[in-house]
Amino acid sequence: MSVAQSTTLSEQETIINIMVRVFHWSIIVLFVLLFVTGDNNDGSDALHIVSGHLLVSFLLARMLWGMIGNENARWKNYLYYPKQIISYLAQLFDTTLVHKFQLHNPAGSSMILLMMGVLSITAITGLLLESLFEFSGVLLFATAYFNNDSALLIREVHGILAYLMLFAIGFHVAGVLYSSFLYKENMSSMMMTGKVSFLKKEEV
């Protein structure tokens, strides 16, 4: 027989570190800029490149913070076995789940890791394109390993990844809206203030 414990927060506590919040909103702004300025051929290439470099900087900072930052920012808290993710999704409309997960539920955590992965690959292909087509950038040394066909392929992959990221963001927003309903918490506001008031993770 298992004994479950859950603790109710009597008042709001700051759970989400400011580093995570700054990263979250900065990535949104940068992705919008990058998506809008991508492949326009209207003189916006410079803004696209600068925004891309900023995005890479934020990604690297967040990856490092996920290893050395505060407890709730650690990547280990985002890791779930496939069985746990499937089980959570199967019970997605069960309101009792609110007692089990405070911040990092299996679906949301997996989506964050997926988006981080897609963003990282998109950023790497973007840096490669800067070197291949602008003849500058940190990956200029790697251009010797690519011909015209492979350069065009990388550009195609870069564009596909951008749209894949847009698709993932749509799922993420839908998840945030549902979580706001499930937890009776404004998740968008939570990512601005860092404060949450719903139940802590249940230990079984």
On average, the pLDDT of the chain sits at: 83
Let me know if residue 78 belongs to a domain: yes
Q: How far apart are CA 8 and CA 146, in angstroms?
A: 57
Task: Show the tokens assigned to 28.
Answer: 């949104």
Q: Quote the crossing angle between the two packed helices 18-37 and 148-183, to the nearest 10°.
A: 130
113 neighbors 63 (Cβ within 8 angstroms): no
Who wins on pLDDT, 83 or 16? 83
In a domain, 53, yes or no: yes
With 0-12 CB in 10 A as exposed, 13-18 as middle and 19+ as buried, what is 34?
buried
**Domain of residue 160, residue span:** 13-196
In a domain, 188, yes or no: yes
Stated pTM of the model: 0.83
Is residue 136 in some structural domain? yes
Domain membership flag for residue 134: yes
Q: What percent of the chain has pLDDT over 90?
A: 51
Q: Is residue 120 part of a domain?
A: yes
- pLDDT tens for 148-169 read 999 999 999 999 999 999 999 9
Q: Do the Cβ atoms of 188 and 5 come closer than 8 Å?
A: no
Task: Give the pLDDT confidence score for residue 187 in this predicted structure.
Answer: 81
Q: For position 153, which CATH number holds?
A: 1.20.950.20
The answer as to whether 25 is a domain residue is: yes
